[in-house]
Amino acid sequence: MKIAVLGYGTIGSGVVEVINTNAGSIAKRSGETVEVKYVLDLRDFFGDPVQDILVHDYSVIAEDDEIGVVVETMGGTKPAYDFVKTALLKGKSVCTSNKELVAAHGAELIQIAAEKKVNFFFEASVGGGIPIIRPINQCITADEIEEINGILNGTTNFILTKMSEQGLDFADVLKEAQELGYAEKDPTADVEGYDACRKIAILTSLAYGKQVDYEDIYTEGITKITAEDFTYAKKVNSAIKIFGTSKKVGDHVYAMVAPRMVGSDHPLYSVNGVFNGISVTGNMLGDVMFYGAGAGKLPTASAVAADVVAAVKHQGEHVPITWSKDKLEITPVDEMENRFFVRVGESEKSKIAEQFGGVEMIDAGIAGECGFITSPLQEKTFAEKAKQFTTLITRIRVQS
Ligand code: HSE
């Protein structure tokens, strides 16, 4: 099997490395040898052996009938979407790590792959090296999925873990993370939750078999989390994590990305540093958890290369993925129930019981303010009550 890799960045070069390093076992598992015939990139890589197979023009790959599998590791949707669609229409399978592409066009690309009897695989698009797409699509198939909670972004988990361990504020840890190469120069997609939003959109689409538009998912990042919030969290044996969540309640599907206070008895409490963890709850299965390296060159490339093995094994046969183009209506987050951790100025202490009834007060020893946890409330009810406080400092949802 001859394959082509689009994009020779961190992940693309990792895929070439995995395929070369593990050529023997990959051949055994695929049923034939797998050879990278082309790498597409705008740049040159003089001195790197890849230079010999480098092309700058995608049509060389698209027009070559010998290429049976295209690996797309360029990121973004332009030109990745056109390249991937062209490959599928020409009868080539595609394996991608690109969550933007999958979240925006997954259903359409799966449909084209089905029509052409090829495959569109995207294991690496969520959770990096953690198997999660195939388990949802092929293993947890006898359950109604009731809930998914995921720490889906390594950068923000690294930042929150450091803040917790060192008592530092967000801005200081972000700077350190950028210096260490864990956060990008422009960290917006990670710290504002947009990356996790694409990933929970993909998981929710797979869990319920319909297209979830990521624009419909309420998304809140971690930029407002402070060292003081962690002081409170520790008083109640909790961590603060950013979760991608989707939850089915009756006929309603809720989805959101937001920071959460997570108790030490929760399976995701101990997922620290750059690691990711995803907990899936099925109505028969109960909870199952997936944990591992959610980002990074070789872990992510390992998942892409495993998709290549699957694509080679299933030549001439489409492996169905339950994700139709029909839109899944996400219930407005206003109606979702959560408990909330709240900080208000001490001057408004008397209003707490008035607005929220019985609450769990937390004494973190911080002068001039009060912290407490409410009972479960609808988001809109909480928002109304919170408006009554002129000294509201923050509010963070509390994971049940
Ligand atoms: N920026 C992402 C993260 C990379 O930090 O998890 C993997 O998608």
What phi, psi does 165 have (nearest 5°)?
-70, -35
Q: Which of 122, 155, 199 to mutate to test the pocket of ligand 1 (most atoms within 8 A of CB)?
A: 155
Instruction: Determine the distance separating the centroid of ligand 1 and the alpha carbon of 276, expressed in angstroms.
Output: 9
pLDDT at site 181 = 86
| Residues identified as active-site | 199
Q: Helix, strand, or coil here: 17?
A: helix
What is the sign, positive or negative, of the torsion defined by CA atoms of 316, 317, 321, 322?
A: positive
Q: Quick: pLDDT tens for 286-296.
A: 999 999 999 99
- The residue among 95, 109, 7, 102 whose CA lies nearest residue 50 is 7
pTM greater than 0.85 (yes/no): yes
Q: Helix, strand, or coil here: 259?
A: strand
State whether the beta carbon of 259 lies less than 6 angstroms from ligand 1. no
Token pair 């009868």 is found at: 91
Asked whether the beta carbons of 155 and 295 are under 8 A apart, the reply is yes
Q: Quick: pLDDT tens for 199-213.
A: 999 999 999 999 999
Instruction: Determine the distance separating the centroid of ligand 1 and the alpha carbon of 268, expressed in angstroms.
Output: 17
What phi, psi does 206 have (nearest 5°)?
-70, -40
Q: Give 306-329 as a DSSP string.
A: HHHHHHHHTTT--------SSBPP
Instruction: Determine the distance separating the centroid of ligand 1 and the alpha carbon of 293, expressed in angstroms.
Output: 10
Q: Which of 156, 190, 300 to mutate to test the pocket of ligand 1 (most atoms within 8 A of CB)?
A: 190
Instruction: Determine the distance separating the centroid of ligand 1 and the alpha carbon of 113, expressed in angstroms.
Output: 27
Whether pLDDT at 242 is above 90: yes
* % residues pLDDT > 70 (the chain): 100
Q: Which of 195, 243, 272 to mutate to test the pocket of ligand 1 (most atoms within 8 A of CB)?
A: 195
Confidence tier at 34 by pLDDT (50, 70, 90): very high
State whether the beta carbon of 299 lies less than 6 angstroms from ligand 1. no
Q: Quick: pLDDT tens for 211-238.
A: 999 999 999 999 999 999 999 999 999 9
Q: Quick: pLDDT tens for 353-396.
A: 999 999 999 999 999 999 999 999 999 999 999 999 999 999 99
State whether the beta carbon of 206 lies less than 6 angstroms from ligand 1. no
**What span, in angstroms and rounded, lies between the C-alpha atoms of 202 and 216?**
13
State whether the beta carbon of 257 lies less than 6 angstroms from ligand 1. no
How much is the average pLDDT of 257-274? 97
How much is the average pLDDT of 93-111? 98
Query: Nearest C-alpha to atom 7 of ligand 1 is from which residue?
Result: 295
State whether the beta carbon of 97 lies less than 6 angstroms from ligand 1. no
pLDDT at site 400 = 87
**What span, in angstroms and rounded, lies between the C-alpha atoms of 127 and 133?**
9
pLDDT at site 157 = 98
Q: Quick: pLDDT tens for 106-159.
A: 999 999 999 999 999 999 999 999 999 999 999 999 999 999 999 999 999 999
How much is the average pLDDT of 45-61? 97
Query: Nearest C-alpha to atom 4 of ligand 1 is from which residue?
Result: 295
Instruction: Determine the distance separating the centroid of ligand 1 and the alpha carbon of 93, expressed in angstroms.
Output: 25
Q: From start to end of 41-132, where are the E strands?
A: 54-55, 67-72, 93-96, 120-121
Residue type, 166: Q
Average pLDDT, the chain: 97
Q: Quick: pLDDT tens for 320-353.
A: 999 999 999 999 999 999 999 999 999 999 999 9
Q: Quick: pLDDT tens for 162-202.
A: 999 999 999 999 999 999 888 999 999 999 999 999 999 99
